[in-house]
Amino acid sequence: MIITIDGPSASGKGTLAKRLAEYLGFAHLDTGALYRAVALSLIMQKKDPSDVAAAKAAAQTLDFDTLDNPDLRDEKTGKIASLVAALPDVRAELLAFQRNFAKNPPGGKKGVVIDGRDIGTVVCPNADIKFFITASPEIRASRRLLELETRGKPVDPGQILKAVQDRDARDETREISPLKPAQDAHLLDTTNLDIDGAFEKALVILNKTGLFQKL
């Protein structure tokens, strides 16, 4: 059973994916962390994100132990992740891992929840249920600001809104696997919803699709 959740940064997709996976007893994969890990590797090697060979090598030799490194969540890592994510060589390297995770959920789990930008459109086009999560750029910037403040990394609010808008533009307009809803995705706008509200709405949709009968 494959559930995909795509959407822009700070739309709430990651939190929703984690929560649904826990609730359903499914494995969870945050694919943004893969692109962030490639970015962090380049930052640590002091390589430029436009260095395609270095980015491809970083994706090929990805150290999965770095996926919970807190530096993955830094604003700079996110920006560079968005730049390397536009490189076809990097996407090709990460595709097999993501598809394999979907096909063979770790820990013998009976399903997966995978979140990202192109999961419903490219990585798992035959997924059982697809969500596309949105929220206004202003609300997403304020969530991001709160997250960074909580982590002791305060930033200028104006800068964050601009960073969110720049990242949206890059992710939506790149040639390969741009951020867009799959035709059969369920749209969920979290602008006026907290995480409990988003979770409840997702459960209603899952119920309507008959997912619980299939488990």
Amino acid at residue number 122: V
Given 117, 130, 143, 144, the residue binding ligand DC (CB under 6 A): 117
Tell me how far, at minimum, the Cβ of 213 lies from ligand DC, in Å.
Answer: 29
Tell me how far, at minimum, the Cβ of 7 lies from ligand DC, in Å.
Answer: 8
Instruction: Name the nearest CA neighbour of 75 among 156, 173, 135.
Output: 156
Rg from Cα positions in the chain: 17
Stretch that binds ligand DC, among 42-50, 117-125, 128-136, 142-150 (CB under 6 A): 117-125
Of 89-108, binders to ligand DC (CB under 6 A) are none
Given 27, 29, 81, 198, the residue binding ligand DC (CB under 6 A): 81
Residue 90 DSSP one-character state: H
**Placement of tokens 């992710």 in the chain:** 171
Binding of ligand DC at residue 85 (CB under 6 A)? yes
Is residue 115 within 8 A of residue 46, CB to CB? The reply is no
Residue 66: CB atoms within 10 Å: 16
Report the C-alpha gap between 60 and 43 in whole angstroms. 16
Given 15, 19, 20, 31, the residue binding ligand DC (CB under 6 A): 31
Alpha helices (H) in the chain, listed in sequence order: 13-24, 31-44, 52-60, 75-84, 88-103, 137-150, 157-173, 195-208, 211-214
Tell me how far, at minimum, the Cβ of 31 lies from ligand DC, in Å.
Answer: 4
Residues touching ligand DC, count (CB under 6 A): 15
Of 170-209, binders to ligand DC (CB under 6 A) are 171
Residues that bind ligand DC (CB under 6 A): 9, 31-32, 35-36, 78, 81-82, 85, 116-119, 167, 171
